[in-house]
Amino acid sequence: MAIIRKLKEKVKKIAQKKKSVAKKKTVVKKKPSPTIELKKEIFGAQEIKVEQTKYSHPEPTRVSRFMPQELPAGYGKDKIVLQVRDPWWLHAFWEVSGSTVDKLRQELKEEFSKSKWILRAYDVSKINFNGNNAHRYFDVYIAEGATSWYIDTAAPGRSWCVDLGLLLPGGKFITVLRSNIVITPLDGPSEETDEEWMIPEELFARLYGMGFGLGRSSPIGKAWQERVKQSLWSSGITSGASFVKKQQKQRKFWFKVDCELIVYGATEPDAKVTVQDKEIKLRPDGTFTLRFALPDGEQVIPVKAVSADCIEERVITPVVNRKTKTSALVKG
Amino acid sequence: MVLHGHLPFVRHPEHEDFLEEDWLYEAITETYVPLILMFENLTNDNIDFRLTMTLSPTLTSMLSDSLLQERYLKHLNKLIELSYKEIERTTWQGQFHNLALMYRDQFCKTRDCFERYHRNLVNAFKKFQDMGKLEVITCGATHGYFPLMEACKDSVRAQVRVAVSHYESVFGRPPRGIWLPECGYYPGHDEILREAGIRYFFTDSHGLLHGTPRPKYGVFAPVYCKGSGVACFSRDLESSKQVWSSVEGYPGDYNYREFYRDIGFDLEYDYIKPYIHPDGIRINTGIKYYRITGTTNHKEPYMPEWARQRAAEHAGNFMFNRQKQVEYLYNFMQKKPIIVSPYDAELFGHWWYEGPQWLEFLIRKIACDQSDIRMITPSEYLVENPRNQVINPSMSSWGWKGYSEMWLQGSNDWIYRHLHAASERMTELVKSYPDVNGLAKRALNQALRELLLAQSSDWAFILGTGTHTSYAERRTKDHLLRFNRLYEDVKAGAIDEGWLSGVEYKDNIFPGIDYKAHQ
């Protein structure tokens, strides 16, 4: 008892010391070294661990300027960008700066409020587009305030350029922004053949089907549609992919119950203990805990302790029986 | 045979336990180490083999990073500790007990392997590349999806240039080939590859089959791109299907291990808590006790020997099909066909647990049991067959529906406005500051790092799938916000060195980066 009291006092003292150290820390902001060392020795592993984690990696310098959490709504530039989604569809996004809108409003006066923002898509395949020489164009009416749009071109394998502009009440179109030019891919094999590497139609049809893993005689027209159906697409990053590749079947109602058995005890720390004839490791204080998955049936678990001097031996044998009954009821 | 190994840059020194870093740890334990062990087995048994493998620059960077190495070892040690507990817990359940022993052995072997290469697995891949068995190819620096960078081509150039110089610094020679991220090809990007000294790349089947003019040999011979002369190899879908397909593919065999039954989810909470996320979120531990069994939720215990037997049979079946395919093709091509079978590397081991076994069986069978087919790398093929047709391949990807829709749809299309603006700003910075040193140079280099990290196709992909999107959204925004601040600070001549150091420390990828790559 006396020892314990002494220890308690010691702990108290150290705790006070620690407090004063902590106070000092906030005032002087100096790394206190000798007192902390002392504390480490006495307070044990956990504290040291906690402290280590503080210093094991250099801490990043604190951000000294306000960092916004969200991206800007716009970049103050006049710009339209056109991208290809697939053989049929394009995607355009744009930004019209406030000053450009103001200028248009001034120039067009009352006509401005009556005109509509539209997209005009030009087919510019194999030409040097100058604004007037497109093979054809079509207009896309966009929702008010839209800043991006998907455009159905209905024609794969073509080059496209898109203007964002105002359609005036009289039908006149004013280009405000002109996009980059993009080329959509073909939706099937090319009609062009190479003289030097000519190949008969029938042979190509076979190779074409085979390339899509469709055996030997798939008609060209159908092969690509079949391939799209096969859905043998890559699924991106590994772990994310797990959720995509094979969605777990939807389980509506489910229920599971299992049993585990905890066997625990204590003896002299230097004793030798076996459980079902297997030696186990004791904790420094002589206690032990074992955990078993418990199957149905009877488990006989002899636990034997032998004193360090091998003079004394004790056996305690729990016998555990598990019997699982199940029943199910579906109402209605 | 091409294995595409890639993971996005997930390194978070600011947190002790970061859930997304587990992507890397799982892939190391389940895919990269098993592949390396396979290379070692084959070499020890004098079995010749040829494999082509992408190690994306983000993956290589993470494998070589000392913080992540240290954390991986910690992760693996905990896993070993858990496997010991499992051995004890399953004492009265023979089948599970044996599996627990199997996992302990496997994890210990993994740790030995990890230590054998001084914790840097890139050393292992380099070793087998130097032996001529493995051809390691590169990828976009951060796996940016190129077709959606067509309007800001400087970024495509930066993705390629940074990847190439990073590869050189790691492997001591320039890369011969590249795996375009997501197999995404847009006409003209081959020219950028040529400028960077890359000699070949891959497309999905339709990239070649829908090329102009028609490819004479379909996907069974490479072509040269018109203008650049860079070679393009294309995927054979028949061989792909056997491994990829969830319906007909091998990985769905009922004897193979079930991916979704992990003790991280199955076992009692207090017991498993130290081995899942510290916040108590249940995660996969990697210890799984069941086989696929069938289509219902009822699962039977995994029998490793049965699974191994199936892997051997499937390898035999794959080889037989290739022999028949080659025989048939040779009859009317009158030329030796090449069959390109690319897979995500992480499919082997991580998703398909027996995948590495299957691959090893396949390689052994091809080497010992027949003489109709052999394994080859694209470089070797081009040396043997230098004369190839010249065509313009078609825009394509190997993602959902074959083009760009996976990365360009309602849920993720908002990112491009910001990515393009940042790309344009980066080009502007390079033009305005063609030759700077010191702090400004550090800021510009970091700006390019942030831009590249924001461009990873993985973020758009995750946003597109609609699950677990918050991390991907945060990463996209964080890198762009850091980029924007760097842009403004450089232009204002007011770089905050303290803040810059913090960002450099967090996003420490590509230490040798040169911002001038972006032009």
* pLDDT given at position B466: 87
Mean pLDDT of chain B: 96
What is the DSSP-derived secondary structure letter of residue B266?
H
* pLDDT given at position B176: 97
Name the token pair of A269: 């720390």
Q: For A243, which of B31, B244, B465 is closest by C-beta distance?
A: B465
Instruction: Give A151-175 pLDDT, tens digit per residue.
Output: 999 999 999 999 999 999 999 999 9
* pLDDT given at position A236: 58
What is the DSSP-derived secondary structure letter of residue B148?
G
CATH for the stretch A79-183: 2.60.40.10
| Fold agreement between A79-183 and A260-322 | yes
Q: For A211, which of B90, B209, B213 is closest by C-beta distance?
A: B209
Q: What is the mean pLDDT of residues A132-139?
A: 96
Query: Residue B472: helix, strand or coil by DSSP?
Result: helix
Mean pLDDT of chain A: 80
Angle, to 10 degrees, between the axis of helix B438-455 and the axis of helix B415-432? Answer: 150
Q: What is the mean pLDDT of residues A63-92?
A: 89
User: Which band of pLDDT confidence, cut at 50, 70 and 90, is reported for residue A135?
Assistant: very high
Closest CA of chain B from A162, distance in Å: 13
Q: What is the mean pLDDT of residues B118-137?
A: 98
Domain boundaries, chain A: 2-55, 79-183, 199-232, 260-322
* pLDDT given at position B278: 87
Closest CA of chain A from B385, distance in Å: 15
Q: What pTM was estimated for this model as a whole?
A: 0.88
Classify residue B493 as exposed, middle or buried by CB count within 10 Å of its CB (0-12, 13-18, 19+).
exposed
CATH architecture for residues A260-322: Sandwich (2.60)
Give the count of Cβ contacts less than 8 A between chain A and B.
267
Question: Letter for the amino acid at B302?
Answer: Y
Query: Residue A205: helix, strand or coil by DSSP?
Result: helix
- Range with lowest mean pLDDT among A22-26, A315-319, B82-86, B301-305: A22-26
**Token pair 């549609």: residue:** A225
Chain centre distance of CA A208: 37
* pLDDT given at position A250: 56
Query: Residue B409: helix, strand or coil by DSSP?
Result: coil
Between A198 and B93, the more confident residue is B93
Between B82 and A52, the more confident residue is B82
Q: For A84, which of B147, B399, B458 is closest by C-beta distance?
A: B147
The complex's ipTM?
Answer: 0.93
Predicted confidence (pLDDT) at residue B353 exceeds the cutoff of 60: yes
* pLDDT given at position A195: 82
Q: What is the mean pLDDT of residues B34-59?
A: 98
Instruction: Give A170-218 pLDDT, tens digit per residue.
Output: 999 999 999 999 999 999 999 999 888 888 888 888 888 888 887 655 5
A177 φ, ψ (degrees, to nearest 5): -135, 145
Q: For A199, which of B216, B241, B268 is closest by C-beta distance?
A: B216
Residues 400-459 (B) with a CB less than 8 A from some CB of A: 400-406, 408, 413-414, 416-418, 420-421, 457-458
Instruction: Give B298-352 pLDDT, tens digit per residue.
Output: 999 999 999 999 999 999 999 999 999 999 999 988 899 999 999 999 999 998 9
Instruction: Give A3-21 pLDDT, tens digit per residue.
Output: 444 444 444 444 444 444 4
* pLDDT given at position A219: 64
A50 φ, ψ (degrees, to nearest 5): -60, -45
B177 φ, ψ (degrees, to nearest 5): -135, 170
Of B423, B433, B415, residue with least CA distance to B155: B423
Name the token pair of B400: 């959902």
User: Which band of pLDDT confidence, cut at 50, 70 and 90, is reported for residue A65?
Assistant: low
Domains of chain B: 1-64+121-257+305-407 (3.20.110.10), 70-119+263-301 (no CATH), 409-517 (1.20.1430.10)
**Token pair 């001591």: residue:** B172
Query: Which of A154-158, A223-227, A234-238 has the highest mean predicted lDDT (pLDDT)?
Result: A154-158
Query: A56-81 burial, b if ≥16 CB within 10 A, otherwise e?
Result: eeeebbeeeeeeeeebeeebeeebbb
Chain B residue numbers touching A147 (CB-CB < 8 A): 417
Cβ of B399 within 8 Å of Cβ of A234? The answer is yes
Instruction: Give B208-232 pLDDT, tens digit per residue.
Output: 999 999 999 999 999 999 999 999 9
* pLDDT given at position A329: 83
A220 φ, ψ (degrees, to nearest 5): -50, -45
Q: What is the mean pLDDT of residues B451-468?
A: 94
Instruction: Give A88-113 pLDDT, tens digit per residue.
Output: 999 999 999 999 999 999 999 999 99
Between B499 and A59, the more confident residue is B499
- Residue A278 CB coordination number (10 Å): 10
Q: In chain A, where does DSSP find H-type helix? A: 2-28, 34-43, 45-55, 98-108, 110-114, 201-211, 220-230, 238-245
Predicted confidence (pLDDT) at residue A229 exceeds the cutoff of 80: no
Mutate to test the interface with B, among A71, A216, A247 (most CBs of B within 10 A): A71
Predicted confidence (pLDDT) at residue A2 exceeds the cutoff of 50: no
CB distance B353 to B304 below 8 Å: no
* pLDDT given at position A68: 78
Predicted confidence (pLDDT) at residue A320 exceeds the cutoff of 50: yes
Chain A residue numbers touching B85 (CB-CB < 8 A): 291
Q: What is the mean pLDDT of residues B461-471?
A: 91
